[in-house]
Amino acid sequence: MQFSGRSYDLTVLNQQLQMVRDDGRGRAIIVTGRRRVGKSRLVQEFVDRLGGPSMVFQATRGRAPGAERVDFIAAIAQSTLPHRELVTGMAPTDWNQALRLLATALPADNSSVVVIDEVPWLIDGDTEFEGALQTVWDRQLANKPVLLILVGSDQSVMETLQSHERAFFGRAGSMVVEPLRVNDVAEATGLPSAEAIDAWLVTGGFPEIVASWRRGESLHTFLKQSLANPLSPLLVSGELTLMGEFPSPGLARIVLESVGAGERTFARIAQATGRDSATAAGSLSPILRALESKRVLSSEWPLSTKPDTRNRRYRVSDPYLRFWLAFGPTSIALAERGRGDVALTRIEASWSTWRGRAVEPLIRASLERLMPNETWPSVMSVGSWWNRINNPEIDLVGADRAPTAKTIGFIGSIKWRDAKPFDASDFAELTRAALMVPGVDAQTPLVAVSRSGVTPGLPVAASWNPDGLVNAWRQTD
């Protein structure tokens, strides 16, 4: 698969390596991110472009510690580290010895890179690995010009590695690899901004799925071809992702599926996931917290000057899983029967409604990247607002902080329609609803985001179209 995008991530890694070269001492960085987001591909590309002394080791889930150490030594022997012959054939009895052998193979007068991939599997397999890593790092590895990259998909485990009570605390920086950004998807697919946003919503920026989208191909054609093949990346990746996150069936998977189906409040999720009655709060609350810690779910509160901590909403964090949970399971079943045409018809019938909700987090994140600016120098957060009965719902709230603001910079509406611009009736609706938001008055500027533009002459303070949203992600490249 051709490597594309990731210029920001590669720049971060190169900066870390340059610091190693400048200081002559080791640095460690913890790289994490969702499964199948391209972490391993990214660090391999970084190593390949480097061309200097390096070693990459990939752990295996469930493998016995002794077998893992054998493979670890084999990876050193097959690497480009200059002193690899000194450890060839060695058989360490514990991770302390194995990591000391790694230190022996490293150059002392030239920078090198060492990648250990899927660190959580090593920790699960041998509780001594983490302590051994800390000991050898402090005594040997940190004294050599090496960039140690620790990679893992279990974000909660990788974040815990850096907590105060853990052995490796304070010894590593952190880097989260996100899916490809919407501008990367636009460049990879060759699509105009509006269509590229559709592609991002469907693929979630997952590199494997994006790579299956032929350059210039329409959404209809991409879906038609993908739904005709039950083994297409679009259909398979969702199930593989969920199997990685939830290897055993249970309530967590059911909760995630209920949120993916559109349930957003605690009460509705409890009702949807219970059998004869709603799931008890004592059972549901820890599952929701765990799903948030894994970055699978996100929670939000209404953004205004008045706190409302009892009005939380949940949503699936990444757009691909939102798409897959809404359409994937049924589409797979139809594709396996050779009826991808039926799956396509069902998706297209629901597309406008689903997309209208799914695009909102991207739009808010895009505007947040544009803030603060000369017009709104105090706006640091862009969220939304709703009341207990969800009437009205305000799509955009720009404020100085979240979730409880001191000042509101602007209030806005999102209209993501194919052929109809944001018009006078939309403006009137926004005007009526805006004054219900705490902290908003008649002088608060009104803004609009529209897929099809804004009717000329409307007194909006600012408006953004698909080009403006995609360009927001290019500003820091």
Which domain CATH number covers 405? 3.40.1350
Residue 4 has a pLDDT of 67
Residue 164 and residue 92 share a domain: yes
Listed in sequence order, the residues at least 6 apart from 162 whose beta carbon sits closer than 8 Å to its beta carbon are 30, 168, 169, 170, 172, 174
1 within some domain: no
384 within some domain: yes
Rg of the chain over CA atoms, in angstroms?
A: 25
Residue 106 and residue 251 share a domain: no
- Which of 176, 200, 224 marks a domain boundary? 176
Residue 189 and residue 150 share a domain: no
Using DSSP's 3-state secondary structure scheme, residue 461 falls into: coil
Residue 376 and residue 334 share a domain: no
246 within some domain: yes
Listed in sequence order, the residues at least 6 apart from 345 whose beta carbon sits closer than 8 Å to its beta carbon are none
Q: What is this structure's pTM? A: 0.85
Residue 318 and residue 266 share a domain: yes
Residue 284 and residue 154 share a domain: no
Report in angstroms the alpha-carbon separations of 307 from 59, 298, 387, 406.
Answer: 46, 18, 12, 11
Rounded-to-integer distance, Cα 19 and Cα 25, Å: 8
Residue 104 and residue 18 share a domain: yes
83 within some domain: yes
Length of the chain: 477
- How many separate domains does the chain show? 3
CA atoms within 13 A on the CB side of 82: 10
Rounded-to-integer distance, Cα 312 and Cα 364, Å: 17
| Contact yes or no for 394/384 (Cβ under 8 A) | yes
Residue 414 and residue 319 share a domain: no
Six-digit token string for 144 = 């050599």
Residue 71 and residue 171 share a domain: yes
Q: 462-468 long-range contacts, Cβ below 8 Å, gap at least 24?
A: 462/375, 462/410, 463/422, 464/363, 464/366, 464/367, 465/193, 466/192, 466/193, 466/194, 466/196, 466/197, 467/193, 468/366, 468/370
**Termini Cα distance of the chain:** 22
Residue 20 and residue 123 share a domain: yes
Rounded-to-integer distance, Cα 306 and Cα 402, Å: 11
pLDDT tens figures, 325-361: 999 999 999 999 999 999 999 999 999 999 999 999 9
Listed in sequence order, the residues at least 6 apart from 155 whose beta carbon sits closer than 8 Å to its beta carbon are 32, 33, 34, 176, 293, 294, 295
Domain of 441 in residue numbering reads as 360-472
CATH number at residue 74: 3.40.50.300
Listed in sequence order, the residues at least 6 apart from 362 whose beta carbon sits closer than 8 Å to its beta carbon are 182, 197, 200, 201, 319, 469
2 within some domain: no
Residue 380 and residue 349 share a domain: no
- Which of 358, 381, 411 marks a domain boundary? 358
477 within some domain: no
- Which of 340, 358, 376 marks a domain boundary? 358
Six-digit token string for 186 = 């636009």
Residue 319 and residue 399 share a domain: no
Which portions of the chain are predicted below pLDDT 70? 1-4, 156, 475-477
